[in-house]
Amino acid sequence: MSKVAVFNQCPGSEVMAESPLAHQSSVKGGRALIVTEHAFLGHLILRGQADNESLKSAVLSVVGVELPLQPLTFVLNETTGASVQWLSPDEWLLILPAGQEYEVEQNLRQQISGHFSIVNVGGGQTLLRLKGDKVFDLLSKSCVYDVHERNFPVGKAVATTFAKATAIIRRPNEQEWELVIRRSFADYCYRWITDAGREFDLTFTV
């Protein structure tokens, strides 16, 4: 018997999932700031030693990208949409297409040796995508972190404060930004964003 309990936490498609913002309604507005929730993605926290070769090779073979060792970066698999993000020297966030988290976890566990952990956290966080000319302004109103393009190029990912909550900010491409927020704070973040985005005539799709 494995020393770690792993199980598929996703039911079949007959079970209706509810995102953390299920109770909130969409806001219709302009195109200067468009926020869209991407719920139900697979989120795994991977922890281990950065010098563990099996860790690196496992991530490469299972997720198809190099394990990012450079602080504050993440790597996107353009084909699958999966990504691996550096969170700390021994911690990474894997965001996977919906429903793949169990398989990925199993595959990683088979290939990684030594001291590591993998934890499914998909129920506990959700992802917002932001685009439009006013994203910089919205983020600047909300975060103490410098989101100017000189400091925040594509491929950067930073965990920081977001208003009075916390968030991970990611920049997958020139046009888009991503916010990973915690489930229990999601309603607060929604209210904050809609309030702070009011002057930009925001659109928020949940």
Which 150-189 positions form the footprint of another protein (CB under 8 A)? 150-151, 158-161, 163-166, 182-188
| Per-residue tokens: 91 | 């911690």
Least distance in Å: CB of 173 to another protein? 21
Q: Pick one of 110, 117, 173, 175: the residue that binds another protein (CB under 8 A).
A: 117
Q: Does 51 bind another protein (CB under 8 A)?
A: no
Q: Pick one of 26, 69, 80, 148: the residue that binds another protein (CB under 8 A).
A: 148
Site for another protein in 60-89 (CB under 8 A): 71-72, 87-89
* 128, amino acid identity: L
| Per-residue tokens: 38 | 């991407």
Task: For 48-93, give the DSSP string.
Answer: E-TT-HHHHHHHHHHHSSPPP-STTBEEE-TTT--EEEEEETTEEE
Least distance in Å: CB of 184 to another protein? 4
Least distance in Å: CB of 152 to another protein? 10
In whole angstroms, give the CA distance from residue 186 to residue 90.
Answer: 26
